[in-house]
Structure 1
Amino acid sequence: MLNPTIQRRRLGNALRRARERAGRTQDEAAERIDAAASKISRLELGQSGIKLTDLALLLDFYGVPGEQAESMRDLARAGRQRGRWSGYRHTIPDWFRQYVDLEADAYEIRWYQPEVIPGVLQTEAYIRAMAATAHPRPTADELDRQVALRLERQAILHRADGPDLAFVLSESALRRQVGDPATMHTQLAHLVDISQRHDAELQVLPFNAETYETASYGFIILRFDPDADTDVIYLEDYTDAVYLDRPDAVRAYTRLYGRLRAAALGPVESQHLIGKMANDL
């Protein structure tokens, strides 16, 4: 299920940092918007929303610069609009809509995938080959929209301000054939290209890895600023997804990712293994 507190917590943390940088107290901020100090406390803890008029007053009071202020206004509006992906509302399941927004906004993404190539790394041929075995099978128009959405999501790989990316892929995700050998060769060659980028780390967890932390399920850690208080863990199953932002859950999955990363081959060794697998095809 979607967690409606995620955006409020992100905005609350941003407001708290802006107030502290400006040297203002919660009492002063409350006086600025003609409210009780407890309201500022609730806002900063993500326990309540904020009117755009009150937000404008606080942003001015804290001296928040233009681009940062606009980003904070976007967070405040997040729960009041369909979002940037509204054109795909018939393609994206309800439980996935919040994820694509969070993915586009994240400044750091850590992704563990045990069985298939992560969506943002898939080639068009791989996407279409996966859909060919789906049940129920999408119509040609539905498939075209699915492909367009996934390719549009991949814009994060090319943006100058895109997120810092790191992936740990189980060897089974690389060896599981999707489509024909030519499709897999192109997909693996694409992964090699991605692994050569300075802003994307790709590691393979081999079958013979010396660890019990193999995790049969995938998960994604999304970070929006250096403050771990706003981190989100995304877990997906066949028909639904869970968004976790509890500090204990974030710590547990962050430690798990660290153990998986430590057990995996290094980036250079992983690149060589994927290249060899591509050549074998």
Structure 2
Amino acid sequence: MLNPTIQRRRLGNALRRARERAGKTQDEAAERIDAAASKISRLELGQSGIKLTDLALLLDLYGVRDEQADSMRELARAGRQRGRWSGYRDAIPDWFRQYVDLEADAYEIRWYQPEVIPGVLQVEPYIRAMSSTAHPRPTPGELDRQVKLRLERQANLHRADGPTLGFVLSESALRRNIGGPAVITAQLAHLAEISHRVELQVLPFDAQTYETASYGFIILRFDPATDTDVIYLEDYTDAAYLDRPDAVRAYTRLYNRLCAAALGPAESRHLIQQVADDLQRRAT
């Protein structure tokens, strides 16, 4: 059973297609349910659930009948259920909650990170060191919840039937000395070990190409029969979810160019070990 976030996105896509086939605008749809046009936008993006009474009004406006209407009502009911990560609501910012649900149901994840180690590859000491500099700083209880959530996400992604994972990291992410030599050395050892199980490449400082991006992004791919692919972009206090086909194609091309510019898996492991050795020599 897909999680509620996926069900809301499926319903949102179906509502948008039905509205466009009916030749109706978002303003006209909003007027029918006595709401702002922004609410229709959120519904079509899968960012909120919908009451069955409002859904009935929209289905009537769009001329949706019979089995299609029944299917959309079922999606609406499923989308109002609690998600698998609802027990961590206190540990997840509002703008990040949709991501953790999408991540759990993706069949392929491609992640580019230029400055820090991606969250799902972090060891616990690294997680705690990163969180210690957050603002506002979490309480010990909040930090424990954040660590537990991240480790559970890692376990979910690395299960036998989990998604295909691919990562491109900048060399600067390896060399940023977060938590001190002992923490970063343990983190690098973990990266070297896990690189045998996931696709992990490093974009070195001396790469023979200038292809790069100063911002991180994640490509989440889904079964086309159930959902559209999503590009996740995050800043300091918010996130964007892009699912327009042109945006997905553009970021996919960018990721492929970054892969081509980066070292291969074996060479990347060698650089990871080299960085770890450099840190140990400086620490002694």
TM range (shorter): 0.7 to 0.9
The alpha carbon displacement at 1:225 in A equals: 2.1
TM-score (norm 2): 0.73
CA RMSD of superposed structures (Å) = 3.0
The alpha carbon displacement at 1:137 in A equals: 1.2
Contact 1:168–1:204 (8 Å) recurs in 2: yes
Query: Which residue of structure 2 lines up, in the alignment, with residue 83 of structure 1?
Result: 83
**Helix, strand or coil at the partner of 2:232:** strand
Between the aligned partners of 2:68 and 2:231, the Cα distance in structure 1 is 22
Contact 1:50–1:76 (8 Å) recurs in 2: yes
The alpha carbon displacement at 1:209 in A equals: 1.7
Contact 1:112–1:169 (8 Å) recurs in 2: yes
Between the aligned partners of 2:202 and 2:190, the Cα distance in structure 1 is 15
Query: Which residue of structure 2 lines up, in the alignment, with residue 242 of structure 1?
Result: 240
The alpha carbon displacement at 1:256 in A equals: 0.5
The alpha carbon displacement at 1:38 in A equals: 6.1
The residue identity in structure 2 corresponding to 1:51 is R
Query: Which residue of structure 2 lines up, in the alignment, with residue 59 of structure 1?
Result: none
Between the aligned partners of 2:151 and 2:232, the Cα distance in structure 1 is 20
Once structures 1 and 2 are overlaid, which stretch shifts more, 156-165 or 101-110? 156-165
Contact 1:233–1:243 (8 Å) recurs in 2: yes
Q: Indicate which of 48, 51, 58 corresponds to 2:73.
A: 51
Query: Which residue of structure 2 lines up, in the alignment, with residue 68 of structure 1?
Result: none
Between the aligned partners of 1:105 and 1:229, the Cα distance in structure 2 is 10
**Helix, strand or coil at the partner of 2:72:** coil
Between the aligned partners of 1:187 and 1:178, the Cα distance in structure 2 is 10
Between the aligned partners of 1:189 and 1:202, the Cα distance in structure 2 is 13
Query: Which residue of structure 1 lines up, in the alignment, with residue 261 of structure 2?
Result: 263
Between the aligned partners of 2:273 and 2:76, the Cα distance in structure 1 is 45
The residue identity in structure 2 corresponding to 1:220 is I
Query: Which residue of structure 2 lines up, in the alignment, with residue 156 of structure 1?
Result: 156
Query: Which residue of structure 1 lines up, in the alignment, with residue 9 of structure 2?
Result: 6
Query: Which residue of structure 1 lines up, in the alignment, with residue 32 of structure 2?
Result: none
TM-score (norm 1): 0.74
The alpha carbon displacement at 1:210 in A equals: 2.8
Cα 1:206–1:77 shift into 2, 3 Å = farther
Query: Which residue of structure 2 lines up, in the alignment, with residue 121 of structure 1?
Result: 121
The residue identity in structure 2 corresponding to 1:125 is P
**Helix, strand or coil at the partner of 2:64:** helix
Between the aligned partners of 1:276 and 1:228, the Cα distance in structure 2 is 43
Query: Which residue of structure 2 lines up, in the alignment, with residue 39 of structure 1?
Result: 64
The alpha carbon displacement at 1:247 in A equals: 0.4
The alpha carbon displacement at 1:5 in A equals: 6.5
Between the aligned partners of 1:211 and 1:245, the Cα distance in structure 2 is 29
**Helix, strand or coil at the partner of 2:147:** helix
Establish whether residue 252 from structure 1 lines up as the match of residue 250 from structure 2.
yes
The residue identity in structure 2 corresponding to 1:39 is V
Cα 1:140–1:268 shift into 2, 3 Å = same
The answer for unaligned runs of 5 or more in structure 2 is 16-59
After superposition, what is the alpha-carbon deviation per residue over 1:21-73, rounded to whole angstroms, capped at 9, x for unaligned? xxxxxxxxxxxxxx9x96389969xxx97122xxxxxxxxxxxxxxxxxxxxx
Query: Which residue of structure 2 lines up, in the alignment, with residue 26 of structure 1?
Result: none
Cα 1:49–1:215 shift into 2, 3 Å = farther
The alpha carbon displacement at 1:208 in A equals: 1.6
Query: Which residue of structure 2 lines up, in the alignment, with residue 278 of structure 1?
Result: 276
Contact 1:9–1:230 (8 Å) recurs in 2: no
The residue identity in structure 1 corresponding to 2:72 is I
Cα 1:263–1:246 shift into 2, 3 Å = same
Between the aligned partners of 2:140 and 2:222, the Cα distance in structure 1 is 36
**Helix, strand or coil at the partner of 2:162:** coil
Cα 1:93–1:268 shift into 2, 3 Å = same
**Helix, strand or coil at the partner of 1:207:** coil
**Helix, strand or coil at the partner of 2:167:** strand
Cα 1:236–1:78 shift into 2, 3 Å = farther
The alpha carbon displacement at 1:271 in A equals: 1.0
Query: Which residue of structure 2 lines up, in the alignment, with residue 57 of structure 1?
Result: none
The alpha carbon displacement at 1:224 in A equals: 1.1
The residue identity in structure 1 corresponding to 2:211 is E
The alpha carbon displacement at 1:241 in A equals: 0.4
**Helix, strand or coil at the partner of 1:112:** strand
Cα 1:229–1:97 shift into 2, 3 Å = closer
Identity of aligned pairs, percent?
Answer: 73
Contact 2:111–2:167 (8 Å) recurs in 1: yes
Between the aligned partners of 2:104 and 2:11, the Cα distance in structure 1 is 17
